[in-house]
Amino acid sequence: MKHRLTLPLAALLASILASPALAHAFLDHATPGVGATVNSSPGELQLSFTQNLVPAFSGVTLKAASGGEIPVGKATLDAGSANTLHVKLGKALPPGTYFVSWHVVSVDTHPTSGTYKFTIAP
Ligand SMILES: [Cu+2]
């Protein structure tokens, strides 16, 4: 009896775990762009997601490829679209490669995270 229950239950769980991924908030596009090379330091980072976000639980960290973490402002939501985070940079970034690690909670309460890089040309 036990084994008869196990397999359908496993299949059910697998489908539940697999399908909501489509409804999570994933990074759709960013400014500077994912993997992009830009000619000058941006004044802020913009990250647009596939779903609206809960700003209190969403943010980014910025690191230079050459080393330390760079302090950034608190992430705020776009007034016009609740799927876009704005993160002000305190001061101009020198040329180099930077890693943006984002963590967000979407309005369906699911957390997601990821990392991308961009480069400021010398
Ligand atoms: Cu979700």
Tokens of 4: 């008869």
| pTM (2 d.p.) | 0.80
CATH 2.60.40.1080 fits 23-120, yes or no: no
Determine the distance separating the centroid of ligand 1 and the alpha carbon of 89, expressed in angstroms: 29
Question: What pLDDT sits at residue 6?
Answer: 56
Q: Who's near 95: CB < 8 A, 6+ residues apart?
A: 120, 121, 122
Task: Name the stretches of the chain with pLDDT < 70.
Answer: 1-22
* 66-80 tens-digit pLDDT: 888 999 999 999 888
Question: What pLDDT sits at residue 7?
Answer: 52
Question: What pLDDT sits at residue 11?
Answer: 54
Whether the Cβ atoms of residue 51 and residue 83 lie closer than 8 Å to each other? yes
Determine the distance separating the centroid of ligand 1 and the alpha carbon of 75, expressed in angstroms: 20
Enumerate residues with CB within 5 Å of ligand 1 (an ion).
23-24, 108, 110
DSSP three-state, residue 14 = helix
Q: Where are the alpha helices (DSSP H) in the chain?
A: 2-18
Question: What pLDDT sits at residue 37?
Answer: 98
